[in-house]
């Protein structure tokens, strides 16, 4: 009867209910069911919320709450996954808005969508200096660092981050992605010398998944 518990997990995500998920996750452990499969169910449900958002049927707070609920479940389930089975984690993504810029919605949406795609997302907030990005990347052993900037006056912040990472000698450790303002800022991303760009959250996720996969550093900015 694993279906019933798994359905509880799925419903827990769709209803943004961490308590229900905790309960169901404990049941999975207690009954010795496959923890990895249970995690798959959770992330699958989270992806459902993500696509609902894309269609306008779910909203940002719901995506954020669903991602929080997922964390409650994986905290319980992950330790039960046997060491030889691979965890489905796709990597850690540090995201923030550059110094001087307080536009936050786009970054929040991208962060939430990345979480629904399975990334461990660390959001360092708005108005952040290159050093804050670097510190967070190092501290969280990030794979990708993402910087949002929406204004002509703050877009130089992208290049500042690239140059700061180069100066510290850590540029090769991370892929750097940027976005903000939509399609028309793609060319500025190219100029800044970053590894990836997202005109919206969907492209951000697609590019991040691709970047996470690869070790070479071919730019992903051009279409």
Q: Which residues bind ligand B12 (CB under 6 A)?
A: 95, 101-107, 109-110, 146-148, 150-153, 177-182, 198, 200-201, 204
Q: Determine the Cα–Cα distance for residues 173 and 196; give it in Å rounded to an integer.
A: 15
| Contact in structure between 134 and 181 (CB atoms under 8 Å) | no
- Nearest by Cα to 155 from 132, 135, 184: 184
CA-CA-CA-CA dihedral for 125, 129, 134, 135, to nearest 10: -70
- Smallest gap from Cβ 31 to ligand B12, in A, equals 40
Q: Determine the Cα–Cα distance for residues 113 and 111; give it in Å rounded to an integer.
A: 5
**Which of the residues 160 through 219 are near other proteins (CB under 8 A)?**
181-185, 200-201
Residue 100 or 193 with smaller CB distance to other proteins: 100
- Residue 44 engages other proteins in binding (rule: CB under 8 A): no
Q: Determine the Cα–Cα distance for residues 143 and 95; give it in Å rounded to an integer.
A: 11
- Nearest by Cα to 47 from 118, 97, 150, 98: 118
DSSP class per residue in 9-44: HHHHHHTT-HHHHHHHHHHHHHTT--HHHHHHHHHH
Residue 77 or 98 with smaller CB distance to other proteins: 98
Residue 163 or 200 with smaller CB distance to other proteins: 200
Of these, 14, 36, 60, 80, which contacts other proteins (CB under 8 A)? 60
Residue 176 three-state SS: strand
Residue 184 interacts with, from other proteins, ligand B12, none (CB under 5-8 Å by kind): other proteins
Of these, 102, 131, 214, 219, which contacts other proteins (CB under 8 A)? 102
Residue 60 interacts with, from ligand B12, other proteins, none (CB under 5-8 Å by kind): other proteins
- Smallest gap from Cβ 103 to ligand B12, in A, equals 4
Residue ranges binding other proteins (CB under 8 A): 53-56, 59-61, 64-65, 68, 99-102, 104-105, 108-109, 150-157, 181-185, 200-201
């Amino acid at each position: 009867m694993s279906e019933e518990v798994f359905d509880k997990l799925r419903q827990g995500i769709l209803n943004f209910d961490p308590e229900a998920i905790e309960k169901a996750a404990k049941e999975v452990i207690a009954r010795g069911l496959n923890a990895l499969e249970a995690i798959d169910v959770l992330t699958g449900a989270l992806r459902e919320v993500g696509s609902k958002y894309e269609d306008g049927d779910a909203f940002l707070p719901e995506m954020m709450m669903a991602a929080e609920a997922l964390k409650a479940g994986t905290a319980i389930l992950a330790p039960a996954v046997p060491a030889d089975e691979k965890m489905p984690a796709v990597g850690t993504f540090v995201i923030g808005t550059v110094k001087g810029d307080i536009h936050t919605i786009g970054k929040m949406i991208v962060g939430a969508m990345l979480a629904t795609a399975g990334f461990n997302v660390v959001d360092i907030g708005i108005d952040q200096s290159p050093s804050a990005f670097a510190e967070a990347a190092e501290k969280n052993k990030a794979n990708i660092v993402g910087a949002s900037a929406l204004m002509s006056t703050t877009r130089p912040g992208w290049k500042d981050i690239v140059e700061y990472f180069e100066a510290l000698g850590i540029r090769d450790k991370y892929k750097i992605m940027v976005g903000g303002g939509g399609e028309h800022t793609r060319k500025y991303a190219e100029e800044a010398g970053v590894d990836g760009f997202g005109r919206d959250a969907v492209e951000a996720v697609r590019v991040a998944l691709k970047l996470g996969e690869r070790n070479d550093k071919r730019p992903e900015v051009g279409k």
